[in-house]
Amino acid sequence: MEKAAAKPTEEKIKPKLFSVMKTYTKEQFVKDVISGIIVAIIALPLSIALALASGVRPEQGLYTAIVAGFIVSFLGGSRVQIAGPTAAFATIVAGIVATEGMDGLIISTVMAGIFMIIMGFCRFGALIKYIPGTITTGFTFGIAVTILIGQIKDFLGLTFTNAPVETMDKVAEIFRSLGTHNVEALLIGLLSLAILILWPKKLEKIPASLIAVLVCSAIVKFTGMKVNTIGNLYTISSAPPTFTLPEVTFARVRALVPNAFTIAILASIESLLSCVVSDGMVGSKHRSNMELIAQGVANIGSALFGGIPATGAIARTAANVKNGGRTPVAGMVHSVVVLLILILLMPYAELIPMPTIAAILFVVAYNMSGWRNIVYTFKTAPKSDIMVLLFTLVLTVIFDLVVAIGVGMVLAAILFMKRMADVTEAHEWVDIDDEDTDPDNIILKKIPHGTKVFEINGPMFFAASGKYKYVFDTQDTDVLVIRMRNVPAVDSTGMETLKDIVRHCDKNNVKVVFSHVNEQPMHAMEKAGFVDKVGKENFCSHIDTALERAEQIENGLKAERSK
């Protein structure tokens, strides 16, 4: 029989740390400490590199990892989230610092934190799903491109005449300055890149970025190569974070609201995406609203103690899980270790070559680009989804993230409304006042033993992707029949949902049969290779033939079991 979706329970506004400590053990504490130390070693060169890419001093990246990292672990809604500076913010922060100064960045980040706290208490955590995946993919790739372009100068050892802020101005300045390239800087950059690419294939336990920093710093120091280092360009401080309060005026606050809104939205999206990824790795479920509140408090703390905007870092979170971290204690240990490194070892950071920093950021940009998602979208998604992705990507590179997300959301909404208008139809019902008199109602059908039938009503698109979780209930089921007569359209996110359902069924030895798939969903399934994956014989034009197919499968299974 048909099954209604279960009503979701209201999510707690409670830090995950307070829940996991009830069953905490000494064994897990040891694992968390080891994982925290390893993640701190990974975070060290990344935090410095991302600070420089953001146009601030190297130690400010470490301040962010220390303050924001600790607060997010202490108050956050995830068991394993590691927070700190991330590549997504580099171009945004650099732009704010260049135009508004450090005071402008502090005010923007504090306001963003306040916005995120309000979002969390208003339980807006679930609303992030209303930002289509194509927009997220587009601006993520665009940010990766801007980071890569921003590091070409140091990688090639160029000498700029001007100091451009906008990405396209940087491209023009790079071409004007190609004649000033430094061969020794390029060699160090290439060596760093080789270490970053090849080292993980041989010895993954020790971070490749740390090896690149140590090897290339030693080469430049002891050979006397004329390569710019951090110490040549920046004054490095080993002082711990100190409280800083900027001068605040109403006019300044009003002018910085767009920047604050951009930081808040981006931090929310990236943090919750990181939580979703880590949930799958540890079999847990994060508290999205508590995570937003924690990220808000963390950004306020980071800004007031000399840091830059922070968010959940997917790569560092994954490293935490991989090394045995299973509670927020690991993230707190990571922050404490970074603080100790700052106080004791920071002066040695002046020896790090700038081409090495550029190479690290090249790899960061590549890893965050998500180019495989773009290729997959181009192969399988409707033209409207591809258009939204391209617009968001190009606008991120040419203008900024505010314009990109704004235009992308408007375009996605318009195209979605057009899609819904194209598939909407009106027809007259005659003498059918009771749905039980409908000859095709599933209540009037005989369902084979071991078979479940689910009917999906309405378009399967990005905002409805969370409504199909009940379909995953395949306990005591041999055949799952999915009836789609009332599904007029499917987008790329809907296709991913269907693929997840089939993958879940394959894992649990459950066969899937589709009934009455309409023209647009069928076209999307064929384009994605989904029909071949499921088998053409398992796509039936009517519920009666679908039930007959289910009965054939059941009879075949009975015959196999009786042998």
Residue 84, φ and ψ in degrees, nearest 5: 170, -170
**Are 299 and 169 contained in the same domain?**
yes
Same domain? For 354 and 501 the reply is no
- Cα 563–chain centre separation: 49
pLDDT at 260: 95
One domain, residues 449 and 365? no
Domain that holds residue 529: 444-562
Q: Which of 329, 346, 369 marks a domain boundary? A: 369
401 inside domain: no
Spatial contact of 142 and 396, defined as CB atoms under 8 Å apart: yes
**Do residue 259 and residue 357 come from a single domain?**
yes
User: Is 138 within a domain?
Assistant: yes
DSSP class of 310: -
Q: Is residue 256 part of a domain?
A: yes
- pLDDT tens for each residue of 442-455: 555 778 888 888 88
Would you say residue 80 lies in a domain? yes
Contacts of 455 (CB under 8 A, 6+ apart): 2, 442, 482, 483, 484, 485, 486
d(CA 52, CA 231): 12
Q: Is residue 12 part of a domain?
A: no
Into how many domains does the chain fold? 2
| Same-domain pairing of 365 and 462 | no
Same domain, 247 and 103: yes
Residues 365 and 490 in one domain: no
Decide which of 369, 387, 415 is a domain's last residue: 369
Residues 195 and 55 in one domain: yes
**Same-domain pairing of 100 and 196:** yes
pLDDT at 9: 56
Same domain for 364 and 449: no
pLDDT of residue 563: 67
**Residue 375 within any structural domain of the chain:** no
Q: Is residue 384 part of a domain?
A: no
Confidence (pLDDT) at 227: 95
Q: What CATH number does the domain containing 498 carry?
A: 3.30.750.24
Distances (CA, A) of 256 to 189, 251, 263, 501: 37, 9, 11, 44
Q: According to the model, what pLDDT value does residue 464 have?
A: 67
Contacts of 263 (CB under 8 A, 6+ apart): 89, 92, 108, 109, 112, 299, 309
Q: What is the C-alpha to C-alpha distance for residues 158 and 156, in angstroms, rounded to an integer?
A: 6
Distance of alpha carbon 452 from alpha carbon 469, whole angstroms: 15
439 part of a folded domain: no
Check residue 233 and give its pLDDT: 86
Predicted local distance difference test score (pLDDT) of residue 6: 43
In this predicted model, what pLDDT tens digit does every residue of 186-226 receive, in sequence order?
A: 999 999 999 999 988 777 677 888 899 999 999 999 999 99
Please indicate, yes or no, whether residues 197 and 325 belong to a single structural domain of this protein. yes
If phi > 0 it is left, if psi is from -120 to 50 it is alpha, else beta; for residue 520 that is alpha
Of the residues 351, 369, 387, which one is the last residue of a structural domain?
369
Q: What is the pLDDT of residue 438?
A: 55
Residues with pLDDT less than 50, the chain? 1-8, 425-435
C-alpha of 39 from chain center? 19
Beta strand pairing call for 479-486 and 539-540: unpaired
